[in-house]
Chains A and B, each alone.
Chain A
Amino acid sequence: MTKLAPVLSAHWDEKDSFTIEGYKRHGGYKAAEKALAMDPDAVIQLVKDSGLRGRGGAGFPTGMKWGFIPQGDNKDHYLVVNADESEPGTCKDTPLLMANPHVLIEGCIIACHAIRAKHAFIYIRGEVTHVVRRVNQAITDAYAAGILGNGIDVVLHIGAGAYICGEETALLDSLEGFRGQPRLRPPFPAIAGLYARPTVVNNVESIASVPAIVMNGADWYQSMGTEKSKGTTLYSLSGHVANPGQFEAPLGITLREILELSGGIRAGHKLKFWTPGGSSTPLFTDEHLDVPLDYEGVAAAGSMLGTKALQIFDETTCVVRAVLRWTEFYKHESCGKCTPCREGTWWLVQILRDLEAGVGTEADLEKLLDLCDNIMGRSFCALGDGATSPITSSIKYFRDEYIAHLTTGGCPFDPVASTLFVGAGA
C-alpha cells in the first residue's frame, strides 16, 4: 500500500500558511538563499538529477527544459509560470496558491537564477479573485522583505477567461497583449518565447516543487516515485466519491489505493468511468483501478497522466451526457485559429446532441470517430487532440450506451440520481 507523502501540502493546515511568516517558519526562502550561492548550471543539473517532470500535463523533464535556454546570448531571458489552471477536473494549483503562494515565488527565484532570467511572470487565470489577492500580497511581502527586487522581479498577470491560454504559446501571445492563440513551433519558447526572447514556461506545481529539491537534494526526490516518474505530486480526487480532495503521494499510486484510503466511491454506488488527468485524457473504467498513476503507467494503459485530475463518475452517470458537455466546452474554448478544431468541434457537438436526444443511427458513431480522426493530430495545438479523447474512449468502452439512446429514443438515465442532493429536498 503506497503511503501519502505531503511535501508541497505539508503545512497547508496552518491557518497562516499563506503568509511570509508562516512560510519562513518552516525554512521558507532558505532554498533560494542556497541556490543563489550555487552556479546556475549546477542548479539546472540538480533539477535534472532529481527527475522532476512537468506537472502541467505533458510531463517534460523540467531540468532539461531549463537547459535548452541558450546562455551567453546577451538577450533577456524570461520565466513564465502557467497558473491558468482550467483543464476540466483540474484543481491543484488553485488551492496550492491559496494556501502557499510563497513556495511559488521561491521557486521562481531559483528558476530565474538557473536560466539567467531577471523577470518572472505568473500568468494566473482571471476567475479566482481570492487566489489573485493571495499571490499579489505574497509578491508585495517578498519585495518588502528584500527577497524580490535584488535582480529578480516577479510580475503577476491575470487572465480573463480563455482555456486556450493554458497552452504555452497562446499564453505567451496573451501575455504580450494579443488574443490568446497558439503559435507555430518551432521556434520553441526556449529560443523565441515571450517578446521573442528565450523563455521557460512551467506549470505552478513544477516550479513549486523546486525549493524542496534544492533543500533536500536530488537523491531524496529520486527516492520517491517510480523508475521514470520521480517525486511526489498532487492527485485531485473529485466526483462521486465519499471524500473528494487533494492527495499528495509518490507518483505511481493507483486509484484503488487513493479510493481505499479516502473512503471509496459514494455509499451504495460503484465506479463507472473516470479521467486520470482531466477531460483531455482518454477515459478509464473500473478495469483500470490498478494502473500505476505515473507518466508511463497511464500511457501504457491508453491514456495520459495529464494533470492528475481524477474525476470519478458512478453508475448513475450517463456517459453520453458527460461527453457531450465536455465537447461543448472544447467547442466554446476553441480559439478559431485552425480549421480542424474550429469546425470539427462544432460538428462533434451537433452529432452528440442528437445522439443524447436519441436521434440518429449507429452510423453517426462512425461519423463521430471519423471526425475525431480528422481533428486528432491535424490541429494546431493540443486542444483539438484533447477534444477527441472523451469521445473516442467513451465509444470504445460504452458503445452500447450510445446505442441504448437510439433504441429508447432518448437518455435512459435519470439526471437527478447523479446529483449530490438526491432526496435532500433541494
Chain B
Amino acid sequence: MAFIAEDLQIMETIIKRYPRPRSAIMPLLHFVQSRAGYVTNEGIELIAKQLQLEAAEVTAVSTFYTQYKPSAIGEYHVGVCTNTLCAVMGGDAIFAGLKDHLGIENDGVTPDGKVSLEHIECNAACDYAPVVMANWEFYDNQTVQSAKDLVDSMRAGNPKPPTRGPNKLVTWKEASAVLAGLNDGLAHEGVQAGQPTLLGLKLSKEGK
C-alpha cells in the first residue's frame, strides 16, 4: 500500500513530540502497522527517509521488539498469557484449546485473515488470571470455552467487547494507531477498574 499525504503529516506531528527526531522511531513503527497492518519494507523506507537514517537502522529497531510484526497478522490478534501464573491457572489449556479450535500454531493466522494467535508473556493483569489479550485489550478471567467463544465471535465479524476496555473491540490497525499515540476518543469508555482492583479498597471501607 502507498502512504498518502495525510499519513506523512501525521508522521511529522509524531516526530515533533520529541526533542530529537530519532526518538520517534517506535511510534512511527506503530503508525506504519496502523496503516499497513505490519512493518512493511515500504514503511521502513519511509521512516528512514523521514528521520534521515538508513533503512537498516530502522529495521534493527523494528526486529528487536515483538509487537512489530514482520508479516501480515489477523484483524484480531489474540495473545494468551502462558507465563507461569496464567499458564498454571489455565493459560496453557486455553492456548492449546485455541490452537486446536482455530487449526493454527503459535504466530499463525486463520485463512480468512480474521484471527492470529500468539502466546504472550505476563501482561500485568495477574489478579485477573487467566488472561487473554486481543489487539492488546484485556479479556480477564478466561476459560477454554470463553476463549473459543471469543475467537468465534471475531470470525463471525462481531467480536465480544473487552472486559476492561472500550465498548467495542477495535481492529488491529485501529489499536496500532492508539499505540502510535493517536487519540481515538474512546478513553472514557469501559470501567475505571475491575473488581479485583477494587477489592482492597472495598475491604478497607468494611473496616479491614
Interface residues of A (CB under 8 A from B): 3-6, 9-10, 12-19, 76, 85-91, 93-95, 98-99, 119, 125-130, 132-134, 136-138, 140, 155-163, 174-180, 195, 235-240, 243-249, 261-262, 279, 309, 311, 313, 317, 321-322, 325-326, 329, 332-333, 335, 415-416, 418-421, 424, 426
Partner of A246, one of B65, B85, B165, B196: B196
| Residue pair A88, B122 in contact (C-beta under 8 Å) | yes
| Residue pair A311, B126 in contact (C-beta under 8 Å) | yes
Instruction: Tell me the bound Cα distance from A179 to B59 in angstroms.
Output: 10
| Residue pair B61, A129 in contact (C-beta under 8 Å) | no
| Residue pair A90, B122 in contact (C-beta under 8 Å) | yes
Known: A162-B64, A237-B127, A238-B129. A12 touches B201 (CB 8 A): yes
| Residue pair A128, B90 in contact (C-beta under 8 Å) | no
A-B contact count (CB 8 A): 274
| Residue pair A247, B85 in contact (C-beta under 8 Å) | no
Q: How far is the CB of A1 from chain B (nearest CB, A)?
A: 9
Known: A86-B122, A134-B187, A160-B30. A177 touches B23 (CB 8 A): yes
Known: A133-B178, A321-B88. A128 touches B200 (CB 8 A): no
How many positions in chain B have a CB within 8 Å of any CB in the partner chain?
81
Instruction: List chain B residues, Cβ under 8 A from A126.
Output: 30, 65, 67, 136, 179
Q: How far is the CB of B142 from chain A (nearest CB, A)?
A: 9
29 contacts between A and B (CB under 8 A): A9-B201, A16-B192, A90-B126, A95-B193, A127-B120, A128-B136, A129-B165, A130-B164, A132-B181, A137-B187, A158-B30, A159-B67, A160-B179, A162-B66, A176-B22, A177-B22, A177-B51, A238-B127, A239-B129, A244-B199, A245-B198, A246-B198, A246-B200, A247-B200, A248-B200, A311-B84, A415-B92, A418-B88, A419-B130
Q: Which of B125-182 contact A (CB under 8 A)?
A: 125-130, 133, 135-138, 143-145, 162, 164-166, 170, 175, 178-181
Closest B residue to A413 using CB positions: B88
Instruction: List chain B residues, Cβ under 8 A from A244.
Output: 126-129, 196, 199
| Residue pair A239, B201 in contact (C-beta under 8 Å) | no
Interface residues of B (CB under 8 A from A): 17-20, 22-27, 29-30, 51, 60-61, 64-68, 79, 82-85, 87-90, 92-93, 120-130, 133, 135-138, 143-145, 162, 164-166, 170, 175, 178-181, 183-184, 186-188, 190-204, 208
CB-CB nearest 3 A-B residue pairs: A245-B199, A137-B187, A160-B65
Q: How far is the CB of B169 from chain A (nearest CB, A)?
A: 10
Closest B residue to A1 using CB positions: B208
Instruction: Tell me the bound Cα distance from A163 to B122 in angstroms.
Output: 9
Q: How far is the CB of A279 from chain B (nearest CB, A)?
A: 7
| Residue pair A333, B121 in contact (C-beta under 8 Å) | yes
Q: How far is the CB of A421 from chain B (nearest CB, A)?
A: 5
Known: A158-B27, A161-B65. A419 touches B89 (CB 8 A): yes
| Residue pair B23, A245 in contact (C-beta under 8 Å) | no
Closest B residue to A137 using CB positions: B187
Closest B residue to A160 using CB positions: B65
Closest A residue to B175 using CB positions: A129
Instruction: List chain B residues, Cβ under 8 A from A134.
Output: 187
| Residue pair B192, A98 in contact (C-beta under 8 Å) | yes
Instruction: List chain A residues, Cβ under 8 A from B197.
Output: 9, 12, 95, 98-99, 245-246
Q: How far is the CB of A10 from chain B (nearest CB, A)?
A: 7
| Residue pair A88, B83 in contact (C-beta under 8 Å) | yes
Partner of A157, one of B23, B82, B120, B133: B23
Partner of A179, one of B64, B87, B125, B178: B64
Partner of A420, one of B25, B83, B89, B204: B89
Closest A residue to B120 using CB positions: A127
| Residue pair B192, A130 in contact (C-beta under 8 Å) | no
Known: A322-B84, A419-B93. A133 touches B183 (CB 8 A): yes
Closest B residue to A4 using CB positions: B204
Q: How far is the CB of A247 from chain B (nearest CB, A)?
A: 4
Instruction: Tell me the bound Cα distance from A12 to B201 in angstroms.
Output: 8
| Residue pair A158, B26 in contact (C-beta under 8 Å) | yes
| Residue pair A89, B126 in contact (C-beta under 8 Å) | yes
Indicate the member of B17, B79, B195, B200 with the most A CB atoms within 10 Å: B200
Known: A5-B204, A140-B183, A426-B144. A128 touches B123 (CB 8 A): yes
| Residue pair A248, B27 in contact (C-beta under 8 Å) | no
Instruction: List chain A residues, Cβ under 8 A from B208.
Output: 3-4, 261
Known: A13-B198, A93-B124, A161-B66. A133 touches B26 (CB 8 A): no
| Residue pair A178, B61 in contact (C-beta under 8 Å) | yes
Instruction: List chain B residues, Cβ under 8 A from A321.
Output: 88
Closest B residue to A418 using CB positions: B88
| Residue pair A130, B165 in contact (C-beta under 8 Å) | yes
| Residue pair B130, A88 in contact (C-beta under 8 Å) | no
Instruction: List chain A residues, Cβ under 8 A from B92.
Output: 415
Q: How far is the CB of B180 from chain A (nearest CB, A)?
A: 7
Instruction: List chain B residues, Cβ under 8 A from A416.
Output: 93
